[in-house]
Amino acid sequence: MADKYRFIGKVTPRKDAVEILTGKAKFLNDIKLPGMLYGKVLRSPHPHALIKKVDKKKAEKLPGVRAVLTWEDVPDWKGGTPRCKRVLDRKVRFVGDAVALVAATSDEIADQALRLIDVQYEVLPHVFDMEKALKPGAPQLYEEFPCNVVPPGVPFFGPKSLREVVMGDVDKGFAEADVVTEGTYSYENIPNPLPPEAPGAIALWEEPNKVTLWVSNQASYMDKVTLFHVFNRQVEVRSIGGPCGGSYGSKFMSWQVQSHAVLLSRATGKPVKVCMTKEEHLAAFTLRPGSRMNAKVGMKKDGTVTAIAGRWVIDTGCYSMTTQSQVAVGCGEVQIMVRCANWNLKPVTVCTNRNASGIVRGFGGQELKCILIPLLSLAMEKLDIDPFEFLKKNYVKPGDGYIWRDGIWYTYRGVDYSEAMDQGAERFGWKEKWKGWLKPSSVHGTKRRGIGVGVHGNADIGEDASEAYVRLHPDGSALIVSCVTEHGTGQRTNFVKMAAEVLQVPMEKVSLSPADSLFTPYEFGPAGSRGTYAIGSAIIAAAEDARRKLFELVAPRLEAAPEDLDTEDGVVFVKSNPQRKLPWRAMGIDRTCTGYGRFDPDYTLSNCMMSFVEVEVDTETGKVDLVRVVNATNAGQIIDPQGLEGQLNGCLGSAGIDSALFEETVIDQGTGHTLNANMIDYKWRTFAELPKIDNVVLETPFASHRFHAVGIGEVATSPGPSAILMAASNAVGHWLHEYPVTPERVLKVLGKTEPRARKGGAA
Amino acid sequence: MKGKGEIMRLKKSKKQTRVNLTVNGKPYELEIGDGPGQVKPWDTLAHTLRETLDLTGTKVSCDHGACGACTVLLGGNAVLSCMTLAVECDGQAVTTIEGLGDPKTGRLDPLQQSFIDHTAFQCGFCTPGILMSAKALLREKPSPMEEDVKEALSGNFCRCISHYQVVKAVMAASGKGD
């Protein structure tokens, strides 16, 4: 396949490689502006309290301090869906909530000033557990959200925005089932996606109502859009994106940090940088949503799912900016994973007194699958159904459909992923290793191995809109104008590759503009796996438009019709007689030639990732080691082989597979303080503990994309966590249903420790 | 306040009023003090490199010695610059990511080239630290085994999971460096 193309599918160096490898790449915290001040945030020590009085006089007098702001000093700017969370409020709602902002001439002075602010609080009762928060009489985080329920629906997704999965007749479905299983499962260890670069922003205010923001975000155009609403639609925001030191979804929304920088710049008239410390990042920035479900599933002997009914409670922490979007997409994704005619799945999103949840790879679907697959597994066990065969049979096939996030039914028109799944199973050796439910695949003394499998897919590969310009120059070079930032996927280089392929010019001749919302058109950004199809198609369309316009300009001089022309290496020629040719400069040396491209959403396609895992459990210590992973997918056409490999290997980190093994945010259930807000106590995988990973990637062309590709990067993290629980359960011969599978939990099911209530964690 | 006292004491005793550093082959004589361009006794090497000398290629991520992002070479050994005080480095040679290539020819170090060839980075934020840890390893052990590479990099956090490509890149560059 790849041989048809000059650049697509070839290994090419990242355009930003030299800058990154020589330290010249300017990440947000590397930027210094003349006269720049440094901003710091005083944070609440209480999970829920009213601010009675703030004395900031001492702080203001400290030499070098330029502004100290509290809720009384700032406009009524609010985030949240619906907008409820004031940037600075009289009420604090979690340990770490912003109480006051300081701008000073150095970080150190700003830090000192924080310690000079005297705050008197009236402590209020708090609630940490999602179900307790729903009970009548529970402490209320917002007056406008009775029982702490966040209103469902997302205006951005349209009037029918998906709020639940309800279709068919579940009673009839359960009556038809051979087995019905029921239970409560949770995935509420709220791991942190934890990009190495902490969130931050630099703001420069211009009176009366303009602000320029330097951001670290995968989707920097959207900061302009988000903040426009936060700032009561009265401030003109220009966002400038640069290299983003990891996001994994999380930095798509940095509105809190950005608002702090803007308020301080507005108060001082100077550029202000606010960068979170790692402790703030872990304890006060967004986490994966907590997820718990009491549900019932019906299944037939042949693996047909006859009904799914349940109440899915989602803990969004102290506010929701995007949780309803994650619920909507999760509800769509679950239908892609499991065909079922009868559904009654009702989500409820709840506020609690901990730091907010936000976007993380897996976007709702990972949260839901991590609690649904264990329940489906119970039914499979009773019917002795192989989970690989079950997941393959039930994954969406061409002609099936789903109700997507906008509440509209779409018929799936992508490829059948069964072949990719089969090849993955073969590479993994699934058939040889599968011995049945709750049976280890091998036992060597105290070491027991077990296997598991999971699957995930997202119809977001064609979500939302993208726009781009491509400008051709007389010297045979081209510029892509797009608000895409580089957050690690290599997509900025891949867009150059796609444009170079359309224009048939060397990649060195194509450049991509900085991501500056001042002059770029609309760009939703590389969220989910939309980069390749959605953004790529807009850029390809712009390149094709520019190429067509070039041919119109040159055609008269070649005495040919524009459709009879082609171009290669900056030369336009007549297809039937390549000797009749003119260089691009024939367009005129005082001219450029600009094409425009737009992608409109297409929800008829989904990607797919199946992950097979093998774990080894030490029954003496309870430690679970991941020894092998095989990821299987079909990408249509590989654009960037090494970039793809990196994305798929990413299945371990960023709150992915390791969130089932050892990652968790531990919050003290008495005080609400995060107990592991540092990178020693928050566990992460090291180079010394790498499992063997194989990525099986098929290339069955998708008709929808000019180069027949679909995006896949985002979903790599999602099938793994439930597969780990399955594998560990099989290894030890007992169900393990809590994330993460710590040694303590393993020893407990083995009857080797006294059961005791676990302190910390959200559970 | 304690810091100021410390400066006074240092000045009085005349033990140390300046810090002499050679960074990427270039000598710097920095005064100890809290004015612009001066080094405070409690300034970390990472802070001095980034804020005083404007060498922002060295990254600070956790700022407490857990993640390896700030790794630089001090006298050829990998150190965490966020856990090292600048005043401790008096008289020593520091190599940062900006000095990894050949300063005269501008040629990249074979490790850097190998990272490009293997796309051994994704977001690239942890990459300078990883490169410096790998460089220290190859100086000590020019032909390491794969396990040596993993061990040498075990203090470097990478969240994108570029580990596999990094190990390949370091192995490919080994034996080709100085």
Mean pLDDT score, A63-68: 98
Q: Which of residues 33-92 of A touch B (CB under 8 A)?
A: none
A490 to chain B nearest CA, in Å? 7
**What are the two backbone dihedrals, phi and then psi, of residue A101, each rounded to the nearest 5 degrees?**
-120, 140
Mean predicted lDDT score pLDDT of chain B: 91
Whether B178 shows a pLDDT value over 80: the answer reads: no
B165 falls in which pLDDT band (50, 70, 90)? very high
Question: Taking CA atoms, what residue in A is nearest to B35?
Answer: A106
User: Measured between alpha carbons, how far is A628 from A626 in angstroms, rounded to an integer?
Assistant: 6
Residue indicated by tokens 């469902």: A152
Q: Which pLDDT value is given to residue A762?
A: 47
* Averaged pLDDT, A608-637: 98
Chain B residues whose beta carbon lies within 8 Å of the beta carbon of residue A688: 150-151, 154
Chains A and B form CB pairs within 8 A to the count of 167
Domains and CATH numbers, chain B: 2-99 (3.10.20.30), 110-173 (1.10.150.120)
Fold for A290-461+604-749, please state it. Aldehyde Oxidoreductase; domain 4 (3.30.365)
Q: What is the mean pLDDT of residues A655-667?
A: 97
- Token pair 């049945």: residue: A436
Helix runs in A515-623, H state only: 536-558
Is the model's pLDDT at A138 over the cut of 90?
A: yes
Length of chain B: 178
Task: State residue A156's pLDDT score.
Answer: 94
pLDDT digits (tens, 9 = 90+) for A333-375: 999 999 999 999 999 999 999 999 999 999 999 999 999 999 9
d(CA A51, CA A120): 6
User: pLDDT-derived band of residue A754, with 50, 70 and 90 as boundaries?
Assistant: confident
As a whole number, mean pLDDT of residues A304-311 equals 98
Considering only A20-24, A676-680, A754-758, B121-125, which range has the smallest mean pLDDT?
A754-758
Distances (CA, A) of A547 to A149, A190, A581: 53, 49, 15
* Chain A contact set for B118 (CB, 8 A): 642
Q: Where in chain A is the domain with CATH 3.90.1170.50?
A: 31-124+193-284
Q: How far is B34 from chain A (nearest CA, A)?
A: 11
Using an 8 Å CB-CB cutoff, list chain B residues near A202.
none
Query: Is B116 in a helix, a strand, or coil?
Result: helix
Residues 433-492, chain A, touching B (beta carbon < 8 A)? 486-490
- Phi/psi at A529 (nearest 5 deg)? -110, 35
Interface touch A246/B55, C-beta < 8 Å: no
Closest C-alpha among A56, A57, A66 to residue A105: A66
For A3-16, the pLDDT digits (tens) are 589 999 999 999 99
Instruction: List the structure tokens of A744.
Output: 């303590």
User: Please, where in chain A does CATH 3.30.365.10 lie?
Assistant: 2-25+464-599, 290-461+604-749
Sign of CA dihedral A68, A70, A74, A78: positive
Give the residue-averaged pLDDT of A293-316. 98
Chain B residues touching residue A685 (CB < 8 angstroms): 161
Nearest to B61 among A17, A278, A651 (CB): A278
Q: Do the chains contact at B149 and A490, CB–CB below 8 Å? A: no
A105 in B contact zone (CB under 8 Å): no
Q: Answer yes or no: is the ipTM higher than 0.90.
A: yes
CB-based contact, A652 to chain B, within 8 Å: yes
Determine if residue A362 is left, alpha or beta; phi over 0 gives left, psi from -120 to 50 gives alpha, anything else beta: left
CB contact (8 A) between residue A643 and residue B119: yes
Q: What does the pLDDT read at residue A308?
A: 98
- Give per-residue pLDDT as tens, A624-636: 999 999 999 999 9
- B101, B124, B165: residue with CB nearest A243: B124
Q: What's the maximum distance between 2 C-alpha atoms anywhere in chain A? A: 89
* Cross-chain Cβ contact B108/A645 below 8 Å: no
CATH homologous superfamily of A31-124+193-284 equals: Aldehyde oxidase/xanthine dehydrogenase, a/b hammerhead (3.90.1170.50)
pLDDT of A1 over the 60 cut: no
Closest residue in chain B to residue A653, using alpha carbons only:
B159
User: What sections of chain B are H helices per DSSP?
Assistant: 2-13, 45-47, 110-117, 127-140, 146-152, 163-173
B58-68, pLDDT tens digit by residue? 999 999 999 99
The interface residues of chain A toward chain B in range 252-291, judged by CB-CB distance below 8 A, are 277-278
Query: For residues B153 and B147, what is the distance between their CA atoms, to the nearest angstrom?
Result: 10
* A214 backbone dihedrals φ, ψ, rounded to 5°: -95, 125
Q: Nearest C-alpha of chain B: how many angstroms from A648?
A: 9
Residue A2, pLDDT above cutoff 50: no
Q: Please give the average per-residue pLDDT across A243-263, as a whole number.
A: 97
In this complex, which of A642, A653, A687 lies closest to B153 when CB atoms are compared?
A: A687
User: What pLDDT band is residue B2 in, cutting at 50, 70 and 90?
Assistant: very low
* CB nearest to A680's CB, from B66, B116, B160: B66
List of chain A residues whose C-beta atoms are within 8 Å of the C-beta of residue B122: 246, 488-490, 643, 646-647, 650
Q: What is the pLDDT of residues A714-736, one digit of tens each?
A: 999 999 999 999 999 999 999 99
The CATH number, out of the four listed (3.40.50.300, 3.20.20.80, 3.30.365.10, 3.90.1150.10), of the domain defined by the range A2-25+464-599: 3.30.365.10
Residue of A11, A246, A642 with shortest CB distance to B160: A246
Is A643's Cβ below 8 Å from some Cβ in B?
A: yes
* Global confidence as pTM: 0.96
Q: Do A21 and B155 touch (CB under 8 A)?
A: no
Cα A70 from Cα A72, distance rounded (Å):
5
> CB–CB of A687 and B98 under 8 A?
no
- Are B158 and A653 a contacting pair at CB < 8 A? yes
Per-residue confidence band for A456, with pLDDT thresholds at 50, 70 and 90: very high
| Average pLDDT of the residues of chain A | 97
Across A299-322, average pLDDT: 98
